[in-house]
Amino acid sequence: MVFRKPPDGGWGWVIVVVSFFTQFLCYGSPLAVGVLYLEWLDAFGEGKGKTAWVGSLANGIGLLASPVCSICVSSFGARPVAIFSGFMVAGGLMMSSFAPNIYFLYISYGIVVGLGCGLLYTATVTITCHYFDKRRGLALGLISTGSSVGLFIYAALQKELIDLYGLDGCLLIVGALSLNILACGSLMRPLDSSDSPPPEKTCVGKVPDQYFAYHEKEKTVEENISILEKGYIDEKCVNNMPDYKQDNILNKNVLSSINVNEKDTYKKKVVEQTNFCKQLAKRKWQLYLNYWEETVVLFKNKVFSALFVAILLFDIGGFPPSLLMEDIARSANVNEDDYYVPLISIIGIMTAVGKLILGILADFKWVNTLYLYVTTLLMTGLALFAIPFAKSYLTLAMLSGILGFLTGNWSIFPYVTTKTVGIEKLTHAYGILMFFAGLGNSLGPPIVGWFYDWTQEYDTAFYFSGFCVLLGGFLLLLAALPCWNACTNQSSKLPPNIYSYKVASSA
């Protein structure tokens, strides 16, 4: 598919609006799962680490499957994937209302809902990057605030629905709301080139040679037919036979001459289909090899390699507060009468603010987006170290707001990835990075829960979380330092679509 130049507006703003609501509807419940987490603890009586797997899977499994999600979006387009994923999210939420135990929730809420969210996230980010170039940071910031606003609203909404209709009724209503994703997905019109010729039906002669794993001279249809007819009776052998045998053979030939044309047509079709399947298999195999070759090339970029380590450690340490903050307050014996706003709601609204502000900052030419991202990582690590010292609602609310704002760096992460590998490799690279982000999301909350089950307090868990985030930030900072380019002299060897990070010069 050939894409024209991003319009940076027009229908692109419709894409921004529907992508915003798509992330709002699909990520509202999984991100606000901390409210459901307390109910599941009381309903099933399992340990904190075991119960935390439900929310961590819902937020991590879609990212773990990002390479598959990227392939689906590249193969089928954002619109079909979004519509299909809307059914997955709605169905998974409704199935969770009938969960008899925690293991059923692992599948219905964790895997089904999580995979649907992963497909929707990849679809919205990819199609937005196709529609925007100069305003890409703003556009990504706007659509990514959808999940944060969803977290803010769904935290209070799910709590109210649980009080009115119970846990099962809450999940049924939230699942019904998710069906609105189908309407949003139908408006995700692909950015096709208006002057590109319509796709033609694939035939044997139009398979490009570069997709072949090796080249060989293909036999023509007539040559293959001659091979198929090699076993037929030779005319000379017939002439050497006795007269009565010749008469029998001639009679058979007369009877079969009626269907000669049909046999020839059938043989030609068989040979053509055989050749087409053979060449198509070669093409797919070569595409598969090219995919892994491009993956190896991506990891040769030191910034990209450090980026996947940083995103893994960031999600191991930075994601648990959004899931466990309510339980942290309950473990710190915070009086429920002091609750003015749920802590998860504070995280959600500040994440929306952070995504918007950081997205706008990323569009300024004097701002180095990679260094901006590193700064958010280091500040997040320091905030995690401060959680064990927060013993009141006010201090926990302040830390929730700080962590929420810094978690807004998700809005500039696609921007950083694009500048690192180029728009042509965005889908491929982003799928790999989201896999490691999903691994961190899946492991983070259970690790913190296991620390609590082991020590009966959260202090050690968040010291570990803060260390992970700081380590990832420092590794990424070291990989991005311009002195590496000066020492290794690799900046001139980078492909044209690779962005070499340098410190922005002051005016």
**Whole-angstrom distance, CA of residue 230 vs CA of residue 330:** 85
The DSSP code sequence of 86-115 is: HHHHHHHHHHHTT-SSHHHHIIIIIIIIHH
Q: Is 196 helix (H, G, I), strand (E, B) or coil?
A: coil
CA-based nearest residue to 54, from 24, 19, 99, 6: 99
Under CATH, which number does the domain 8-191 receive? 1.20.1250.20
CATH of 275-485, one of 3.30.360.10, 3.90.79.10, 2.60.40.10, 1.20.1250.20: 1.20.1250.20
Q: Where are the beta strands (DSSP E) in 413-486?
A: none
CA distance to 61, 147, 397, 410, 418, per residue, from 362 (Å): 28, 19, 27, 12, 12
Looking at residue 264, its pLDDT comes to 63
| Average pLDDT of span 381-386 | 92
397, HSE (Cβ side, Cα atoms, 13 Å): 11
278 has a pLDDT exceeding 90: no
191 has a pLDDT exceeding 60: yes
By the 8 A CB rule, do 317 and 467 touch? yes
- The 10s digit of each residue's pLDDT in 94-146 is 999 999 999 999 999 999 999 999 899 888 988 888 888 777 777 877 887 78
Which token pair is 51? 């119960």
**Residue 305 is inside which H or E element, if any?**
helix 302-318
Cα 52 from chain centre: 22
| Mean pLDDT for the chain overall | 76
**One-letter amino acid of 308:** F
234 has a pLDDT exceeding 60: no
By the 8 A CB rule, do 450 and 49 touch? yes
Q: Do 8-191 and 275-485 agree at the fold level?
A: yes
Looking at residue 60, its pLDDT comes to 81
All structural domains of the chain with their residue ranges: 8-191, 275-485
Q: Using a cut of 0.95, tell me whether the model's pTM lies above it.
A: no
| Average pLDDT of span 196-210 | 44
